[in-house]
Amino acid sequence: MSQFDGPNVIFEARGISKHYGGVVALEGVDLELRQGEVLAIVGDNGAGKSTLIKALTGAIAKTSGTTHMDGQEVQIDSPAAAKDAGIETVYQDLALVNELSITKNVFLGREILRKDLLGRVFGALDFAKMDREIRDLFQKLDIRIADIYREAEAFSGGQRQAVALSKTVMFGKRIAILDEPTAALGVRESKMAMDLVSSLKDHGLSVIMITHNMQHVLQYCDRVMVLRLGQLAAVRDVKDVDGDTLVGLITGAIEDRAA
């Protein structure tokens, strides 16, 4: 049984801690993610946001804590295990290879083999099928990138972010975790990226998003959890907070006893 009482909880973590010798990066952090929501994680620099995401997805080994999917404990001790559990993560650096085309970037490590002798024996790739799937996905997500054969370095920051987010729709079965999806983007490209984040919900994904942008939290997210100095400081429904309240919770000017 789930240890949380919230409605439609699909993923939960209890007591997540990460220590580096005597340095405590995280201490006893709990998290719950509900079906079809965007959960924001906010906090000052050094609050433990990225450490928490890496611990949840197996990118780093947590010191203690457990994770559950649909109420059942799951061991996520590597990025591959996270993918197997249906979790796709987009880090701030996007992990796109500049020298590869959009098709090769999207299917990197998940290439589709041809079904003929060349595929079965020699491992020949089915680029026609991969291209077709990408074009269909881009059309569905309203991503306007026509030339998918160009190298990734030729595209703008917003287009590169769109490609990275599209991978979460194509391969993410349950959860998309996004680390600062609008970092270094201009106003127009930030809106494009955030509209795409919203559309992830329409494709059956629940979203955890690290962000410093309070307006994005208030406009696009359902709930927000605040980290401070490696500990959970607050969890609030976005409809119950404003920008000043969020800043107060982040800085400690406002204390949340419920956390």
Predicted pLDDT of residue 198: 87
- Give the residues across from 210 on adjacent strands: 41, 179
* pLDDT tens for each residue of 193-204: 888 888 888 888
Outline where DSSP puts E strands in the chain: 9-20, 23-34, 38-42, 64-69, 72-74, 87-90, 175-179, 206-210, 223-228, 231-237
Cα separation of 209 and 131, whole Å?
Answer: 29
* pLDDT tens for each residue of 64-95: 999 999 999 999 999 999 999 999 998 876 66
Query: Does residue 27 belong to any structural domain of this protein?
Result: no
177 lies in the same domain as 82: yes
Does position 108 have pLDDT exceeding 80, yes or no? yes
45 lies in the same domain as 127: no
Residue 214 one-letter amino acid: M
Domain coverage including residue 145: 100-150
- Is 233 within 8 Å of 224 (Cβ atoms)? no
- Is 163 within 8 Å of 106 (Cβ atoms)? yes
Cα separation of 151 and 173, whole Å?
Answer: 27
Predicted pLDDT of residue 196: 87
The Cα-based distances of 147 to 32, 50, 130, 156, 190 in angstroms read 39, 33, 14, 13, 22
165 lies in the same domain as 239: yes
129 lies in the same domain as 183: no
User: Which has the minimum average pLDDT: 11-15, 93-97, 121-125?
Assistant: 93-97
45 lies in the same domain as 141: no
Cα separation of 83 and 232, whole Å?
Answer: 26
229 lies in the same domain as 123: no
